[in-house]
A and B are shown apart, each in its own frame.
Chain A
Amino acid sequence: MLNIKCPWCGERPEVEFRCGGESHIQRPGPHTEVSDEAWANYLFYRDNPKGVLFERWVHSGGCGEWFNVARNTVTHEILAVYQMTDPKPVLEDPKE
């Protein structure tokens, strides 16, 4: 079980959170101009890296805030926690 550092509440166990999947997904629009393929990519296609994955999590059992987490999918090491509106950080993964 992960130990996640909520930017508002500090380190809390994973059971207090919910993972919302990959972050930094751009919702395409306007809808009248989005191709079926682009829409399908947005809806269904996600990265599944062996290494760093940028995810969004919500402290559902706590403050209710969403934030981003950079997590190594192999070691489960959490490399960064940052605001929803922050850009994707550039990380050097020591494990890779």
Chain B
Amino acid sequence: MSAYRLENGGYIDRSQQISFQFDGKKLSGFQGDTLASALLANHVDVIGRSFKYHRPRGILAAGLDEANAIMQIGSGAESSPNLKATQVELIEGLQARSVNAWPSLKFDLLAVNAVFKRFLPAGFYYKTFMWPDWHWFEPAIRNAAGLGKSPDQPDPDIYDKRSADCDILVIGGGICGLMAARLAAESGANVLLVEVDSAWGGSALCWPTLIDDSDAASWCASTVAELHQKPNVVVLNRTMAFGYYDHNLVGLVQRLVPAQSDGLTPRERMWKVRAKTVVLATGAFERPLVFPNNDRPGVMLASAGASYVSRFGVAVGRKVLIATNNDSAYESAFVLKEAGVDVVALVDARASAASEVTQRAQDMGLVIISNSTVTNVKGSSGLRSAEVCELNADNQPVAKSRRSIQCDSVLTSGGWSPAVHLFSQSGGKLKFDDETQAFVPKRSVQNEISIGAAAGIFELGASLAHAQDRIGTVLKSLNLSAKPTETSVSKHAGLGAIKSLWSVEGEMLDRPGAKAWVDFQNDVTSSDVKLALRENFRSVEHVKRYTTLGMASDQGKTSNVNGIGVMSVELRCDPGDVGTTKFRPPYNPLTIGAFAGRRVGENLNPLRPLPSAARQIELGAKLEDYGGWHRPAYYVERGQSEHECVSKEVLATRNSLGLFDASPLGKIEVFGPDAAEFLNRIYANNMKTLKVGRCRYGLMLNENGIIYDDGILARIAEDHYLVGTTSGHASAIADMLQEWLQCEWVHLDVATSNVTTNWAVMNVNGPKARALLEKFDSSFDFGAHAFPHMHFREGELEGVPCRIQRVSFSGELSYEVSVPWGYGASLFDNIMVLGEEFAIQPFGVESLMTMRIEKGFLHVGSDTDGMTVPQDVGFGRIVEKKTDDFVGRRSIMRPDALRSGRRQLVGLDVTDGGDALPIGGHVVDQGQSPPTASRGWVTSSVFSPTLSKPVALGLVEGGADRIGDEIEIWDLGTRRRARIVAPGAYDAKGERLHV
């Protein structure tokens, strides 16, 4: 190809030179260029290799419909894969690389695929690589077929999000979109106007137009400037509407300049816009003609050829042949001709007919070859000629009429496809319009209208009249109005009388090997489509997946309708009967960063800090995520293992005093005359009989009878309970209580309040706990009789409101001291200071877990699973005794819940003298080896520092009846011996609790 920069014209600034690199080669363009226009101006003809056959490819289009020019932009962490060169604005220092070529663009080893292309027809994956195993081939195929590479470092850019709503969202900043936005703005409506391109004007950037006798570009500029001034209008360019969702929600992605990260400006902003009405002024995509070797560099869309001249001052060739089946390509031809480019011929598939455009073409000296089309292009490096054939009455090329015409580029137009993507995503139904040979909107489902080319109206004057009319209706529905302005526009060719010409095949010219491309990016030819039909794939969705037509990153913008056309010819039906595949968001690829927004790194799932968080760090806590809380696992001692650290904490607590920040414990207050009745329905055990000032362990089930949570309840007053939940379940249980109250037991007079983060809780644990608390100035009597185990007291501690529960998860004397959250840190500090004389030791979650396993207390989620009912954990008699209904009550009466041999929680006493049992290890009968039945598994296991031996809990089939049985634990080939015992290896009688 011999593209070159024109002396004049285009919306580029020739005084602003910009240097950039393509595949390491230094090139330069101008301010206002896209990467694509700059590459053309630098005579770069081959910009990539095709996906499957690695054929050389050139630029096809000028907008986001580009199928070939897929680039890797930037390097390192900022590298972006798979951007379209036609959408990349040229900036200083830009680095672009072609993808899909190995080892280099000029010499692509994988181009041998093209030689063997008869082995790679549609469905070749399914047919060829089945033996011996697909996975044997997969890496090589993936390597051969890959597009760009994702960067291997974290994205340094910032991405933003915002929500907005408006009366009217106008999508598309072409002439119709601008007109619609102007009318809507005048009516006083809140308007949001978006345009995906950096430049406004749409087709006016391609074909020069006069609006009210002034140049369309200046009309667009003044209209946009005018809209910018209005307080009721937001105007965004570089902003793509990528998805149309329920209830008129439209997703936008705004690209923000500068493109290079400055650490402050977001790179992109995602908008979620809820609009009363959406105006789709999204324009249309030109379809390429399908003929043998139509994928060669130098073959482009006719409108793209015009765009490069009009917008970028680039001529795509010195001798250009234009082939078409409609009038719009004439308009493109005029643009080239007026720019001084030699248009060697206008090859028109239609019979010659005198019309305004043909007359104008003749007046300009253009040669029209009627009733003919292009059937091949030639030239090994760069196009040299095109083959043109006459068409017979059946649209078949007549072989003997073929002739060769010298040219260095071929521009084609096979008609236009309205960009109905968003319309279709909104649920709108399409129809195939014979007159325009296009799928156009038929019936709306949501509040939107299509105008301009998006509505299938291709002539500008008619488009504008239609748009003004439709906007008037929309404004009326919003009780608004604006006076349509009389606007005169220059006469445009439009589509004219288009002739259906879906494909010309090599077979028709006795050249069966010459393939005609339908989908450039995924390398799908018309013969692939026909093969799929021969193999009886009839649904358009099946043909798409079997051939991969339209499945590339361009989602078939230029290829889908041509594929449907080829199918319709083969199936002898109307393209409308073939139908389209489903349009799904996103309209055009977008970055994952835009979806992630600011929710990256530590903001993805922010951890909640303890009230004593600052002190934890000073104390050397190893902080980890426990149910969304940043809590100490254990306190690190230099040179000691985790087990040694945990052992030290456990022994200090058991022998004297330990301190644990238990603030995340769930705390829900339940008030009201029916509080007792309500909680009795929520818990598996009886809560009505709980006396004021006392605590009780409660087991909570879900309605399936499965253990969901456990915790300590305190009855503060007759009509006031404090429900304790596990840290991870606090908010879920608060929600669940409300669901039962609001949806099922609506007559119960109960209020609940989740006070988890109102109260900080310091757990003072160990034999010296009482002595420590007595050192505080408080209103509490900590005496063993005044404040026994499982009791609750309210009062003041150092003048601060305080609630204390004497409960224990460790098996030692233990108090949970609650103060308002803001006092939590100072309480922690004071306990540490006052505890010095008892050699107080802070301990973490791992130590607490060790102590509860020694004690044999279950931990919901560790020692229970999605099948565990209360009978399995020793609650059988308690639930049996309770006659009232409760959540899950009926479910634990199911035959399966009552059968014998269920897995039950037991203790496991290690008899082989070894270390801690493996958690998850299977319980098998003595002397058995796999394959053998698993009788259950180890659920919790530690080496007990207190008892100096391993202790474990497990779920074992019929476990409660097997106490004393010798069993074996089998885990990944290792075998251990243990005896089933009752849970509770440490202080089984609970003597240490009642002191």
Contact = CB atoms under 8 A, between A and B. Distances in A.
Q: Do A and B bind each other?
A: yes
Contacts of A27: 744
A75 B428 CA distance: 11
A89 interface: no
B889 interface: yes
A2 interface: yes
B247 A1 contact: yes
A3 B889 contact: no
A20 to B, nearest CB: 7
Interface centre among B248, B249, B890 (most CB of A within 10 A): B890
B274 A66 contact: no
A29 B246 contact: no
Contacts of A75: 427, 445
A80 interface: no
A26 B744 CA distance: 8
Given A1-B246, A2-B247, A60-B735, A13 B274 contact: yes
A66 B741 CA distance: 10
B109 interface: no
A56 B247 CA distance: 19
Interface string A1-34: 1110000000001000000100100011111001
Nearest to A67: B742
Given A1-B272, A34-B890, A20 B739 contact: yes
B247 A76 contact: yes
B739 A30 contact: no
B249 A66 contact: no
A40 to B, nearest CB: 9
B717 interface: no
B703 A43 contact: yes
A66 B247 contact: no
Contact of B885 (A2, A31, A43, A64): A31
Nearest to B889: A31
Given A13-B163, A31-B890, A39-B891, A1 B249 contact: yes
A75 B877 CA distance: 52
Contacts of A65: 742
B738 interface: yes
A43 B739 contact: no
A84 B745 CA distance: 11
Contacts of B742: 58, 65-66, 84
A58 B739 CA distance: 8
Interface string A44-60: 00000000000010101
Nearest to A26: B744
Given A36-B895, A85-B746, A43 B704 contact: yes
Interface string A65-96: 11000000001100000001100000000000
Contact of A84 (B245, B249, B746): B746
Nearest to B895: A36
Interface in B877-933: 885, 889-891, 893-895
B739 A3 contact: no
Given A13-B163, A29-B885, A76-B246, A84 B743 contact: yes
A64 B751 CA distance: 13
A31 B445 CA distance: 47
Nearest to A1: B249
A25 to B, nearest CB: 9
A30 B272 CA distance: 48
Nearest to B746: A85
Given A13-B274, A56-B743, A84-B746, A2 B895 contact: no
A39 B890 contact: yes
Nearest to A44: B704
Contacts of B248: 3
Contacts of A31: 885, 889-890, 893
B427 to A, nearest CB: 7
Contacts of B895: 36
Interface in B722-762: 735, 738-739, 742-744, 746
Contacts of B704: 43
A36 B897 CA distance: 12
Contact of A20 (B743, B889, B893, B894): B743
Nearest to B890: A31
Contacts of B274: 3, 13
Given A29-B885, A60-B735, A75-B427, A1 B245 contact: yes
Given A36-B895, A43-B704, A56-B743, A3 B738 contact: no
B890 A2 contact: no
B738 A66 contact: yes
Contacts of A60: 735
A96 to B, nearest CB: 15
Given A1-B246, A1-B247, A76-B247, A66 B885 contact: no
B832 to A, nearest CB: 38
Interface string B403-419: 00000000000000000
A46 to B, nearest CB: 14
Contacts of B246: 1-3, 76
Nearest to B445: A75
Contacts of A36: 894-895
Given A20-B739, A34-B890, A85-B746, A3 B249 contact: yes
Nearest to A66: B742
B780 to A, nearest CB: 35
Given A1-B246, A75-B427, A66 B743 contact: yes
B585 to A, nearest CB: 12
A43 B427 contact: no
Contacts of B894: 36, 39
Interface centre among B272, B738, B743, B891 (most CB of A within 10 A): B743
A76 B426 CA distance: 11
Contacts of A30: 885
B98 to A, nearest CB: 38
B748 to A, nearest CB: 13
Interface in B688-746: 703-704, 735, 738-739, 742-744, 746
Nearest to B894: A36
Nearest to B245: A1
B909 to A, nearest CB: 38
A79 B445 CA distance: 15
Contacts of B245: 1
B606 to A, nearest CB: 16
Contacts of B427: 75
Contacts of A29: 885, 890
B703 A64 contact: no
A86 to B, nearest CB: 11
Interface string B151-173: 00000000000010000000000
Nearest to A75: B445
A64 B704 CA distance: 25
B247 to A, nearest CB: 4
Contacts of B738: 58, 64, 66
Contacts of A85: 746
B670 to A, nearest CB: 15
Interface string B614-626: 0000000000000
Interface centre among A1, A31, A43 (most CB of B within 10 A): A31
B181 to A, nearest CB: 23
A12 to B, nearest CB: 10
Contacts of A58: 735, 738-739, 742
Contacts of B703: 43
13 contacts: A1-B246, A2-B246, A2-B247, A13-B249, A31-B890, A31-B893, A39-B890, A43-B703, A58-B742, A60-B735, A65-B742, A66-B742, A84-B742
**The 4 A-B residue pairs with the shortest CB-CB distance in the complex, in nearest-first order:** A3-B247, A31-B890, A66-B742, A76-B246
Interface of A: 1-3, 13, 20, 23, 27-31, 34, 36, 39, 43, 56, 58, 60, 64-66, 75-76, 84-85
Given A58-B738, A66-B739, 17 more contacts: A1-B245, A1-B272, A3-B246, A3-B249, A28-B890, A29-B885, A29-B890, A31-B889, A31-B890, A36-B894, A39-B890, A43-B704, A43-B891, A58-B735, A65-B742, A84-B742, A84-B746
